[in-house]
């Protein structure tokens, strides 16, 4: 599950709210051990996702770097190349 969490810092354009929430959701899924909580745990699950997304956004807003921003398309192309070398099959686009 955690392989879906992507680096969100130092990209141009900045990480979207959807990306931050998706990372928070993946994190909560991983630590809770479930992709879909029971109805008894849904409120706690949703609250955890909300709080982690909020903390993640605060962290991203506070981080400082002197490196130039990375380009999402360039990083995606590099990932595809790594996939092809590792698995020998072109990644789905």
Alpha-carbon gap, residue 74 to 67, rounded angstroms: 16
pLDDT band at residue 33 under the 50/70/90 scheme: very high
E-only strand ranges, 1-93: 11-12, 70-71
Q: Average pLDDT, stretch 43-57?
A: 97
**Which helix (DSSP H) or strand (DSSP E) does residue 44 occupy?**
helix 42-62
The pLDDT value recorded for residue 1 is: 45
Cis peptide leading into residue 64 (ω within 30°): no
Q: How far is CA 32 from CA 43, 44, 47, 52, 76, in A?
A: 13, 11, 13, 13, 29
Q: Average pLDDT, stretch 39-63?
A: 97
Alpha-carbon gap, residue 24 to 20, rounded angstroms: 6
């Amino acid at each position: 599950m955690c392989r879906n969490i992507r680096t969100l810092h130092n990209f141009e354009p900045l990480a979207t709210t959807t990306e931050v929430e998706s990372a928070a959701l993946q994190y909560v899924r991983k630590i809770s051990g479930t992709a879909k909580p029971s109805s008894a745990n849904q409120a706690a699950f949703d609250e955890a996702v909300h709080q982690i997304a909020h903390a993640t956004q605060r962290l991203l807003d506070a981080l400082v770097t002197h490196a130039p921003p990375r380009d999402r398309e360039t990083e995606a192309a590099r990932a595809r190349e790594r996939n092809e070398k590792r698995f020998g099959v072109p990644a789905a686009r």
